[in-house]
Structure 1
């Protein structure tokens, strides 16, 4: 008899939103489909319950974590800066949830893939800070989302990145895809790098485009772009989600042996 192993569960961070006066926990369809179709894993949504989120109970049930992107930004008080219009919009319920999840996930050695806001959350959770408006810094590029309703243009390639040849990222990407171009839909970026994070890739102006966690042997990778958009159709995105999937399955196999 042929049997198949169940697909490992992966948690994805949701945002807290108000729609027509009602509260919702929301996540973009593209993140769920990327985990399902490009990684072959089973996605589950983690609510934005702030510090009330039952972190350990949730992490007990999964074998990987994806920190999603969002139009909102980490509140500057989380990295000891004063609030300004440049920092907005905020989602403090999500801040409380993700910034509680990250250290607990790292302590467990849980595979973690952080995307856009997720990479910024990873940086802040490890003591780093953010630049609120990169496009206003002299000599820096404008990374904001293109003003076009077509999502293929919004998520289309915008600029190349330079990848550290000794990085984890360099080992994951197909040889023919280096250098690569990535999309860009953000106005904030990493300023001071968080503790134990290593820079994996940069934009032409020096803006950090990818980081990894330098402690332990688990897969912990953050990218500033959006590989989740039509991930199954993009060879670079497929490579990243496939690498995450391998780490998740390895983690799941180890849990089942306990």
Structure 2
């Protein structure tokens, strides 16, 4: 086995801006770190929710994948030209400013990307799509929210509805079934799908639950559900993170081979 085969791909994980005892802090939920490490087999580093804390070109040259996490916060309606958010909507403007300008550059550069829940919504907005801020209030829609908060947190991530997987897409290539159950913990959902995005799965009410970037040079998938919390018992969740890890390893090998000629001349 070569040294290159032993190296783990480097994946940045989008952090939230939170308050920590009166101090601004950057936080990543452990479920994403665990799924990326144990199932995708990658090494993770947090991406600060601060646009000025990193240079996009330097970052893209140095990484093998991007994981856009779910979050209690929502993408600000201002980012997709909608009316101002109601006061009760939790926003994270610092994360919006850090992540949204990065998404299309990452995809164009061939860096694998996986978006989950808020990350799914960020990818849609980055490609020109819009969001419905309150899906549960729309006639004919399911209530996609997490339900009773008194339940143990693990129960929040139980399966709650099926998704229908579109034939011939990324998800169809990962599982052998056309309909599978998933969990659901979101208030917002896609209103208008972004340009160049391909629907990968829908809920029974027609809401988009997964999409891919149609012409992306590498893995570029986004899901509205939460596979990171079900890697222990859900084949679809396992398949998503395994495929993401495989794509990240391909990116790592490409990066290493690109620097070999320069190293030989040094």
Same topology, TM > 0.5: yes
Contact 2:212 2:222 (8 Å CA) reproduced: yes
d(CA) in 1 for partners of 2:19, 2:222: 28
Aligned to 2:262: none
- How many residues align? The count is 256
Deviation, 1:178, is 4.2
Matches within 5 A, 1:135-214: 135-147=136-148, 148-173=150-175, 175=176, 177-214=177-214
Contact 2:12 2:66 (8 Å CA) reproduced: yes
Aligned to 2:28: 27
Aligned to 1:47: 48
Q: Give yes or no for the alignment of 1:16 onto 2:25.
A: no
Per-residue CA shift, 1:25-63, capped at 9, x if unaligned? Answer: 001000000000011111111100035542222222210
Aligned to 1:103: 104
RMSD between aligned residues: 1.6
d(CA) in 2 for partners of 1:140, 1:2: 52
d(CA) in 1 for partners of 2:2, 2:115: 35
Deviation, 1:233, is 3.4
d(CA) in 1 for partners of 2:161, 2:52: 37
Q: Give yes or no for the alignment of 1:7 onto 2:12.
A: no
d(CA) in 2 for partners of 1:2, 1:118: 34
Q: Which runs of 4+ in 1 moved over 6 A?
A: none
Deviation, 1:254, is 1.1
d(CA) in 2 for partners of 1:180, 1:87: 33
Gaps of 5+ in 2: 259-266
d(CA) in 2 for partners of 1:52, 1:194: 28
Aligned to 2:261: none
Deviation, 1:102, is 0.4
TM-score by length of 1: 0.95
TM-score by length of 2: 0.92
Gaps of 5+ in 1: none
Contact 1:86 1:133 (8 Å CA) reproduced: no
Q: Which structure has the larger Rg? A: 2
